[in-house]
Structure 1
Amino acid sequence: MWKNRRLISQERGSIMFERKKPSGKLLSLPIDQIHPSPFQARKSFDEQELTALAQSIRENGLLQPVTVRKAAEGYELVAGERRLRACQLAKMTTISAILCSYADDRTAALGLLENIQRADLNPFEQAQGLRDVMVLWDCTQAEAAKRLGMAQPTFANKLRLLQLTADQRQFVLDNNLTERHARAVLRLPENRRSEALITIAKRRLNARQTDSYIEQLLNSPPKAGHRISMVRDVRIFVNTIDHAIRLMTDNGVPATAHREEKDGYIEYTVRIPTAAAEK
């Protein structure tokens, strides 16, 4: 049921975003002349949802045109990449589009806000999109948050997600952990985060349980493991054994030693006669 509500909102979501309709011409453009925006924050699309949206467009038509701007070659998509992909999947050759004139910074903001308001992005794509907008606008977190209509603490919390490594981010997504799970883990030192994520996923902790678990970890520093010292130059030990055998033989004890190297190890077999054997 939730997925159905999301699918419906995919066509109406941009209407929510574009309450103030962009000024520009409504055109019917060849789909192959529209290129993705370099400011698109979303990196992955759910194939099942795209298929369902494509079927909806076949049956009902495209309810909301995409938004484009003129590019050096053809047109650049400003908003509506999901709709564009669904139309491609539906084997359409043309698409309704509103032609607007936006500067790069406005284009980035439009594409990002459309996805954020429609919950199309995963938390890390949102964070990267916000970072990209900051770079594009050359502004501070507070300035970007204000221009995007976001609370500054919310903006800052989302950016912090980028402190996780690429592997940790993927683990969060693969195990259906939430943004709150990820933010909780960020309270730990870098070298403790991966292990904490694995434990959270294995125990299937909810957000509140995760907060408690992280608090426990912070209040109980990791136990120092047994450190195994390794001497790189084993010749010290080999020479010591050989010297001991020579001492015995020099003093009349018929000791023998056989050394064999295999599988990355040195194996010694030492034979020293007992007093009974010498008799």
Structure 2
Amino acid sequence: MAVKTKGLGKGLDILIPETVMKDDKSKVIEKVVEKPVEKKIKITKIEPNREQPRKNFEEDALLELSDSIKQFGIIQPLVVQERDGYYEIIAGERRWRAAKLAGLKEVPVVIKKYTEQEILEISLIENIQRENLNPIEEALAYKKLIQQFNLKQDEIAERVSKSRTAVTNSLRLLKLDDRVQQMVIDDKISTGHARTLIVIEDNDLQYHLANRIFDEKLSVRETEKLIKKITSEKVENTTIKENNNNDFIFKNIEDKITSIVGTKVKINQKSNNKGKIEIEFYSNDELERIFDLLQSIES
């Protein structure tokens, strides 16, 4: 019995049902529905898909796969689509790159025809299945499906067999400063670290904190505490600033009322924009004067 992939139910099984899906160690992870029609094509006539979500290929892993291809050949054919004068890779760019390193002149392919949306979905699903995409590449692929093909997040989640929350959290990474995104790509900080930084709106501060995480080897929990402290201090400083502004306004009002009633006036501010006004008097005669003054204003 073929070993099932972990939750790709409606992914490649729908988009390429007749393709044998194997990982690079030759472990079957999709059931064969029917044998695909393969043919050999010169490697020079094949080009990668420029819209392929994956942009980074680890050199050591490619060399390892290249050595395997030299010994055993390409076990799983590339999936390609015929273009004007060449064949474009839909699935299997990593195998193609490794085959070139191995010095192969021809590679086995299955020629298919898909829409642009299906090509992007297949590339995305294949890479997610093998965990080949870095978190930023994955997020950018989701963004493209939304912007270019008007897919909703729950539709994307269904296609790649992930939860809607996972897709949403992935897209949130694109709110990070470009320099911080690159640190995620370079594996200097984890996605857990990166998500804690999203609440920091100042890009320079965000980048500074990302470097601090890397330099001090902070855990995600330590980073959360650091961010909480920074945001709390920011709120406190904002409150102090607002209070200082209010103090200036209240002092100005106190002075104006003092000039009207002719005695010391104090405004005591409370929470929720409430407070009280205190008017001092130093004799019964002064109290009667203030009373008469207030009555005259009322009338």
Q: Which residue of 1 aligns with 2:297?
A: none
1:198 paired with 2:211, answer: yes
TM-score, normalising length: structure 1: 0.70
Structure 2: 5+ residue stretches without partners: 1-21, 238-299
TM-score, normalising length: structure 2: 0.66
- Contact kept, 8 Å, 1:23 with 1:100, in 2: the verdict is no
Q: Residues 194 and 178 from structure 1, CA distance in 2 versus in 1: closer, same or farther, beyond 3 angstroms?
A: same
Q: Secondary structure of the equivalent of 2:39?
A: strand
Q: Residues 104 and 23 from structure 1, CA distance in 2 versus in 1: closer, same or farther, beyond 3 angstroms?
A: farther
1:37 paired with 2:49, answer: yes
Q: Which residue of 2 aligns with 1:122?
A: 134
Task: For residue 22 of structure 1, report the CA deviation from its aligned partner.
Answer: 8.1
Residues 148-180 of structure 1, C-alpha deviations (whole Å, 9 max, x = no match): 322111101101111112222123344621111
Q: Secondary structure of the equivalent of 2:189?
A: coil
* Alignment partner of 1:10 out of 17, 24, 47: 24
* Alignment partner of 2:64 out of 43, 52, 69: 52
Q: Which residue of 2 aligns with 1:77?
A: 89
Q: Secondary structure of the equivalent of 2:40?
A: strand
RMSD (CA atoms): 2.3
Q: Residues 22 and 155 from structure 1, CA distance in 2 versus in 1: closer, same or farther, beyond 3 angstroms?
A: farther
* Alignment partner of 1:92 out of 84, 88, 104: 104
- Contact kept, 8 Å, 2:177 with 2:207, in 1: the verdict is no
Task: For residue 133 of structure 1, report the CA deviation from its aligned partner.
Answer: 2.0
Residues 12-53 of structure 1, C-alpha deviations (whole Å, 9 max, x = no match): 47x53x546687521111111111113201111111111111
Compare relative contact order (CA 8 Å, sep 6+) and give the higher one, 1 or 2: 1
Q: Residues 175 and 71 from structure 1, CA distance in 2 versus in 1: closer, same or farther, beyond 3 angstroms?
A: closer
Compare 136-145 and 105-114 and name the one that shifted more: 136-145
Q: Residues 168 and 223 from structure 1, CA distance in 2 versus in 1: closer, same or farther, beyond 3 angstroms?
A: farther
- Contact kept, 8 Å, 1:145 with 1:155, in 2: the verdict is yes
Residues 237-268 of structure 1, C-alpha deviations (whole Å, 9 max, x = no match): xxxxxxxxxxxxxxxxxxxxxxxxxxxxxxxx
Runs of 4+ in 1 over 6 A off after TM superposition: none
Q: Which residue of 1 aligns with 2:221?
A: 208
Q: Which residue of 2 aligns with 1:176?
A: 188
**Matched residue pairs, number?**
215
* Alignment partner of 1:153 out of 158, 165, 188: 165
C-alpha separation in 2, matches of 1:194 and 1:103 = 39
* Alignment partner of 2:147 out of 135, 139, 164: 135
Task: For residue 208 of structure 1, report the CA deviation from its aligned partner.
Answer: 2.4
Q: Secondary structure of the equivalent of 1:220?
A: helix
* Alignment partner of 1:219 out of 209, 219, 232: 232
C-alpha separation in 2, matches of 1:135 and 1:23 = 36
Q: Residues 93 and 100 from structure 1, CA distance in 2 versus in 1: closer, same or farther, beyond 3 angstroms?
A: same
C-alpha separation in 2, matches of 1:22 and 1:213 = 55
C-alpha separation in 1, matches of 2:172 and 2:80 = 32
Amino acid corresponding to residue 63 of structure 1 in structure 2: I
C-alpha separation in 1, matches of 2:34 and 2:91 = 11
1:167 paired with 2:168, answer: no
C-alpha separation in 1, matches of 2:73 and 2:111 = 19
Task: For residue 202 of structure 1, report the CA deviation from its aligned partner.
Answer: 1.7
Task: For residue 187 of structure 1, report the CA deviation from its aligned partner.
Answer: 1.9
Residues 207-261 of structure 1, C-alpha deviations (whole Å, 9 max, x = no match): 222222222222222897xxxxxxxxxxxxxxxxxxxxxxxxxxxxxxxxxxxxx
Q: Secondary structure of the equivalent of 2:184?
A: helix
